[in-house]
Chains A and B, each alone.
Chain A
């Protein structure tokens, strides 16, 4: 299966380059290591979009290359430089936040336009006019989650468990805790964990339970979340669970008992069950190629390529333009255009690179994501 995919991609890449008329897009992401699920998802999503666009045979054709950065800033810069040697014209930045901060600085210095699928820290775009995001910034996720919990009346007493050595987790937790009181939410318990002591959560859960939290907010990636869910069940503590987009991926995790995630709510811009044609088509193709339901990272990768497609078409850009020329054109397009993709309708970007779109509430039901609204 994988071989066939690689072959088709090679053929596509070769046919595209044979005409000498393909835009070279490069991106870095963790394709190996602990965060590999995100990097591979974004890469797979982008590959599907590239294959679709190249199959349409229009004026805009793409050649895509992803390099492994193992979720490390140093490796990400190395990967970025390798892509530059390859001749990258426009960039997909990096998939995860810290590496993306490092590569975004390079993008800015080299005048290569970047649209990152999922690097959500605010520092990625800060002070850089040519770096844009496809996903929400972390601070927005925290306040949007608090808003959502309050609006839907999900709970009054909330516990937060967060990872205190992680940029992503801290960014969301900070704005959530800041916003919660003004919405009438009471944060009754706030506990932390870090790399190395992320196996036992009994202290954190007991604290939340004794303080009577009705809902536990989990701003973290899915691996620790899966352990928290399992241990809460073992101590028969059953509050409402609320996660953010890092929770996405929990259902496809190897060896995870899906019944544990039953009823977990999460805020994510992408809903694989959405009935619109575009989402259905993407989900179907992704399942055919990779045998699993695409997560939000895959959808972000997919949308990034289509956003480029729209921007390049509108700007009447040609592949013989150099990176700096394309960069100026892309800045002009992205600050003015409106984009419709699988991660949201009427997506717009502000001049500082941040995206505006509506988050969707989701709940896990019978081992699948279902829209909350």
Chain B
């Protein structure tokens, strides 16, 4: 199915997709080999999983920002819904499914469902709006999710699940455990997230997004992005398509959140604040709107960069900002863009033909 669809695509588009897969797979193989032969520093090894999570975040946000053309400033909110529901699910499955990779996969699936539901509910009011208004409302919803999770208590005991808001009134029986503890978040998470799992999630995210983009719905997304009125005039159901992209994007962000959270022993809702949403938006903008490979590379570069700048101690974030500005200017420069395009082996062949 996938293959036939890709063969039918325009050749340039198909090449771009294959190139993205190829780069991701090559990067994964190189990292795995370096990691197993001990060439990768602890610092780099520790960042592999979060980088995968951020890549999935960037790809999923690119679906909304780059393909659908709506600015969403609350993407970290979906990540946190996924992180909390995924970790809670993994905790509840601990006794039932002892094999960690399966537990991780199921937890990420649960996280995707919860985040998708959140995306759907938020989508109902948000997608009635457009442009700046939509951006501001998504920002508000991101903050609302953070506040709710900061006041949410979830515990489990022999009687089943208990939850409460604002204060802990779960009154667990002896032997029960409070999983989500309001502002204290979740502690003592089993670290079951792995780099291969991150890689698989990224590949799945890419397949979903590419297939969606190159389908009837994807063309509808782009039609809405390019001219909403024209799209509406030919009978496209704007709200339906917008909702489809928004929910899909939220679901992928949820899985990424679960992967991210299970790489650390502790997680708090405040981690997924406005700054994180903006950080992911920066990945998308720097990588190029609608350009998935660009988002992936930007996510990796901007996550590694602050760590590589550690030797500059206090000047680290200043340098980071300067490099960010330079990169933004450079990637928007026509001459540099042409130069980079010239380096692309597929593109060159295309031109030669």
Contacts and interface: CB of A to CB of B under 8 A. Distances in A.
A165 B150 contact: yes
A68 B42 contact: no
Contacts of A32: 314, 316-317
Contacts of A101: 187, 265-266
B310 interface: yes
Interface in A145-202: 163-167, 169-171, 194-196
A31 B313 CA distance: 9
A3 to B, nearest CB: 13
Interface string A116-128: 0000010100110
B13 to A, nearest CB: 35
A77 B187 contact: no
A182 B313 CA distance: 49
B2 to A, nearest CB: 34
B270 interface: yes
Interface stretch (A7-15, A81-89, A292-300, A306-314): A81-89
A74 B271 contact: yes
Interface in B62-97: none
Interface in B36-54: 41-43, 45-47, 50
**How large, as a class, is the contact surface on chain B?**
20 to 34
**How large, as a class, is the contact surface on chain A?**
35 or more
A164 B313 CA distance: 32
A67 B43 CA distance: 12
B193 interface: no
A229 to B, nearest CB: 23
B50 A68 contact: no
A167 B150 contact: no
B187 A82 contact: no
A82 B150 contact: no
Contacts, number: 92
Contact of A82 (B143, B182, B271, B307): B307
B144 to A, nearest CB: 12
A71 to B, nearest CB: 10
B198 to A, nearest CB: 14
A232 interface: no
Given A74-B271, A102-B265, A164 B183 contact: yes
Contact of B147 (A170, A171, A194): A194
B269 interface: yes
Given A77-B264, A98-B268, A102-B264, 15 more contacts: A31-B314, A67-B310, A68-B316, A73-B266, A73-B268, A73-B271, A78-B307, A81-B43, A81-B45, A82-B310, A109-B191, A121-B187, A164-B150, A194-B150, A196-B143
Interface of B: 41-43, 45-47, 50, 143, 147, 150-151, 166, 182-185, 187-188, 191, 264-271, 307, 310, 313-314, 316-317
28 contacts: A31-B314, A32-B316, A32-B317, A68-B310, A68-B316, A72-B271, A73-B271, A78-B307, A81-B41, A81-B47, A82-B42, A82-B307, A85-B43, A98-B266, A101-B187, A102-B265, A102-B266, A105-B264, A105-B265, A123-B266, A126-B187, A126-B188, A164-B150, A164-B151, A165-B183, A165-B270, A171-B184, A194-B150
